[in-house]
Structure 1
Amino acid sequence: MMRTTRGGGLDGDPGTGFLSEVRDAVSTRTALLVLGVLAVQLAFIASYIGAFHEPKPHEIPIAVTAPSAPVTAQAVQQLRGLPGEPLKPRAVKDEAEALAQIRNRDVDGALIVDPRAPGDRLLVTSAAGASLSQALEQIVGSAEQAQKRTLTVTDVVPESAGDARGLSAFYLVVGWCVGGYLCASALAISAGAKPANPARALIRLAVMLLYAIVAGLLGAVIAGPILDALPGSIPALWGLGALLVFSVGAITLAFQGIAGVVGIGLAILLVVVLGNPSAGGAYPYPLLPGFWRAIGPALPPGAGTFAARSIAYFKGNGAGGPFLILSAWAVGATAITLVLSLMRQDRRNHDKDLARMAKSSSAGV
């Protein structure tokens, strides 16, 4: 039985003390890693609560049209002057143009003004996020009520029956991201965080690519035909999933090449701590605070969520930008991984040359 003796450690050896045992059990490196984990945990709490605790509409893009240009201009001015700037109205020619802009993802709703009627019509799209369409309905409804007018709301691009509150695209993207950094982490655990040479780096990237292709297909099939949660093109969702998984995996490999096992934590910080709450899932971009609203579209979860919704409900309209963002992450992270492996190989070869020279010199003496 383990017991503490007078002046001894936990193993009963009187030659060791408790502090010595602690130093042996927890190295300086381990202590730093534990502090790093604590920092990531606190950042997670701050990021998620900071993003979600007080959603507030800010410059939601909305189209406005009326039978005449002066009436349209007046309605735009009234909406632009609402306290806190919750809306970003733009004048359009007619209802057809307003509907086209919604389906192209240029705006999130449209107000159809008819001064000859007792009320106006609001076109929304719950497929872009139920919380966003509800915010539009509340803001415009209050403005109409202040003018003693009624408001009729029409959901022109509704979410599918199996996609509660339009969150399936976000959860699919989160699953793809988790797979990306877990696969890269598994490669690091099995063969060392930093690839020894370019050949090994290429092998890891190739494995990551194969995994991404399979994960992208299976994720799209589960969300589509199996669970009937997301409509839209399966090949397009497959392509998005493969690109997203590979991007996140390549980012994790690049961070590992820079910082070793700590790189896994850096990848989690970027993708999970910063990326997920700013992705526009539970609350689309116009409802997020400024910091999260600014970084969201540039990070993989945000780009993936926007593109997945575009594919599922908007025939891919607006998905081009997010695909370019994900491609940039994939190419940049791949390049960093390969360059670091080349540098590591050159350094190792240089060390070998120095050792060989030193051995030759000693032999000559």
Structure 2
Amino acid sequence: MTSETPASSGAPSTGLGPWMRFRRQYSRLSPPVQMIGLQLWLPLVFVIAFCLCYINAFHQPSPKDIKVAVVGTGPAAVTLADRLEGTSNGMLSASVASSVDAARGDVRDGDLAAAFTPGAANQPARLLVASGAQFQLAEVVQQTFAPVAAAEGTTLAVDDLAPLPKHDSYGTSGFYIALVWTIAGYMVGMFIGMMGQTLKHRVRLGLIVGSGFVLSLLGTLFAGPVVGAVHGHFLSLWLLGWLTTISVGLVVNGLSYYIGRFVTGAALILFVFLNIPASGGAFPAAFVPEPFKWLHPYVFGTGVLDVLRGIVYDVGPGIGSGATIIGVYAAIGLVLTVVGKPFFDRRNRLRAERGKPVSMMLAAQGAAMAARQAEQAEAAAGTRPHHVTTSEGPGWDDDSHGNGNGSRGNGLRDNEFAAEEVESDAAAVSGAAAGSGSA
């Protein structure tokens, strides 16, 4: 005895949820259109992050809480420091230094932007600065203290403890060199993470170290001897550049195990959009708004610039301080890499055991390869190739087509729900596995 279920009007029910129905409809598009659409999130992230980070941080630099000191003892020095801070509208954070030698050390270390010694009769006031630490800070404090000296009836003499050379008038060369190394490491880590998911740890690390060696050499060579932005210190800067590219590459490589192809956006945000405004390279940390000022001690670029300025100008908190930041990022990258590979393999194994379909990007790549193979086979057979434009073409099996087994006339099955064929076709597609487990 059989029971009959009344037929429902309209399209037949597929038993799929909203997301899978969307994927099924999306897979009907031509494979190139699918792949382009699945990457449009990146320009979206770029536009939003650029506005929130670059334009927000740099459109109106406003100096705030610049640390300066008045050299002297007694009530007069304290009174002058209080008056400077109180009349600066938040621009200065003034303290008192007991001696010129103590103030000199603080200015060279970067703890102070300047130290002011009041003048006397027939004796100019003196201002200690370090242009090599940050050119804009030195300029601002000179403009600030010149009227103070004039009000005392004297002139202002500036002692620059780390003057900038003529070939780097604004002190930006180091920042751009560090940016070259950082972006090189980011790109290497990104491509290895996206295209080398099946590689062993030693191969991936070898690529990061080897490419970092070459790219840091080229960056240092072109910025130094070729362009002339930096003179001397070639070997030290090359080593710094190599460590920079390796550290960034390790972090990006490690992140790729967890977020696949979306590592591009994550790395951009981490090493470009947050790193650059907060590093103090383009503008001092005292010039940018929160949260960039708060992030300054923790971003990767701060460590690189601290080491670079220590090498080239002998200013800043010291090479050890910057090297610590670089080392922390490298260690994080190693941990992410070591833990990430087992996580990635386990996630893919569970995905296969549960019968989940492959990612949309992997499916689109497989469909594109299958379409190319079909066209090549027909061309080789001497027949006129028909253009396969979608991954679910006219041969998709439903009630209206009625071939009963879900196959097309050319032997291709739906790229979303025939995982075995998709994975086989996509195995030769570089970087396909990076999208596993994500859209």
Supply the AA of the counterpart residue of 2:86. Answer: G
CA distance in 1, matches of 2:222, 2:252: 25
Q: Which has the larger helix fraction?
A: 1
CA distance in 2, matches of 1:238, 1:338: 27
Tell me: CA distance 1:234–1:273, structure 2 relative to 1, closer, same or farther (3 Å): same
Supply the AA of the counterpart residue of 1:168. Answer: S
Report what 1:97 is aligned to.
102
Report what 2:187 is aligned to.
182
1:264 matched to 2:264: yes
Give the one of 19, 37, 45 matched to 2:43.
Answer: 37
When normalised by structure 1's length, the TM-score is 0.80
CA distance in 2, matches of 1:146, 1:316: 32
Cα displacement (A) at 1:42: 2.2
Superposition CA RMSD, Å: 3.0
Give the one of 123, 129, 134 matched to 1:129.
Answer: 134
Give the one of 149, 169, 174 matched to 1:169.
Answer: 174
Deviations, residues 173-226 of structure 1 (Å, cap 9, x unaligned): 01001110111233245x34xx23xx6133212221222234334433444444
Give the one of 45, 53, 67 matched to 1:47.
Answer: 53
Cα displacement (A) at 1:232: 6.2
Cα displacement (A) at 1:347: 5.3
Supply the AA of the counterpart residue of 1:286. Answer: A
Supply the AA of the counterpart residue of 2:329. Answer: W
Structure index of larger Rg:
2
Give the one of 74, 81, 84 matched to 1:79.
Answer: 84
> For 1:33, what is the secondary structure of its paired residue?
coil
Asked if 2 retains the 8 angstrom alpha-carbon contact of 1:160 and 1:231, the reply is no
When normalised by structure 2's length, the TM-score is 0.67
Asked if 1 retains the 8 angstrom alpha-carbon contact of 2:132 and 2:162, the reply is yes
Give the one of 39, 42, 64 matched to 2:70.
Answer: 64
Cα displacement (A) at 1:342: 1.8
Asked if 2 retains the 8 angstrom alpha-carbon contact of 1:170 and 1:281, the reply is yes
Report what 2:22 is aligned to.
none
Show the 5 A alignment for 1:232-251: 233-251=233-251
Show the 5 A alignment for 1:129-208: 129-145=134-150, 150-189=155-194, 191-192=195-196, 195-196=197-198, 200-208=200-208
Tell me: CA distance 1:315–1:124, structure 2 relative to 1, closer, same or farther (3 Å): closer
CA distance in 2, matches of 1:173, 1:145: 40
1:320 matched to 2:326: no
Tell me: CA distance 1:263–1:349, structure 2 relative to 1, closer, same or farther (3 Å): closer
> For 1:64, what is the secondary structure of its paired residue?
strand
CA distance in 2, matches of 1:106, 1:237: 24
Moved more, 29-38 or 337-346: 29-38
CA distance in 2, matches of 1:181, 1:236: 21
Tell me: CA distance 1:316–1:43, structure 2 relative to 1, closer, same or farther (3 Å): closer
> For 2:87, what is the secondary structure of its paired residue?
coil
Tell me: CA distance 1:273–1:213, structure 2 relative to 1, closer, same or farther (3 Å): same
> For 1:333, what is the secondary structure of its paired residue?
helix
Aligned length: 331
> For 1:121, what is the secondary structure of its paired residue?
strand
Report what 2:29 is aligned to.
23
Stretches of structure 1 that go unaligned for 5 or more consecutive residues are 1-18, 356-365
Asked if 1 retains the 8 angstrom alpha-carbon contact of 2:133 and 2:315, the reply is no
Sequence identity (%): 27
Asked if 2 retains the 8 angstrom alpha-carbon contact of 1:125 and 1:156, the reply is yes
Give the one of 106, 110, 115 matched to 2:115.
Answer: 110
Asked if 2 retains the 8 angstrom alpha-carbon contact of 1:160 and 1:230, the reply is no
Supply the AA of the counterpart residue of 1:181. Answer: Y
CA distance in 1, matches of 2:353, 2:284: 57
CA distance in 2, matches of 1:79, 1:20: 65
Cα displacement (A) at 1:166: 0.1
Asked if 2 retains the 8 angstrom alpha-carbon contact of 1:278 and 1:292, the reply is yes
CA distance in 2, matches of 1:253, 1:49: 29
CA distance in 2, matches of 1:163, 1:247: 27
Cα displacement (A) at 1:27: 6.5
Asked if 1 retains the 8 angstrom alpha-carbon contact of 2:70 and 2:115, the reply is yes
Deviations, residues 115-163 of structure 1 (Å, cap 9, x unaligned): 4457522122221222111111122234445566543333231111111
Report what 2:424 is aligned to.
none
Stretches of structure 2 that go unaligned for 5 or more consecutive residues are 1-24, 356-439
Deviations, residues 247-306 of structure 1 (Å, cap 9, x unaligned): 211121122111111112210121111111222122111111122111133112232123
Asked if 2 retains the 8 angstrom alpha-carbon contact of 1:105 and 1:318, the reply is no
> For 1:61, what is the secondary structure of its paired residue?
strand
CA distance in 2, matches of 1:46, 1:80: 31
> For 1:165, what is the secondary structure of its paired residue?
coil
Moved more, 221-230 or 199-208: 221-230
CA distance in 2, matches of 1:22, 1:344: 29
Cα displacement (A) at 1:20: 8.5
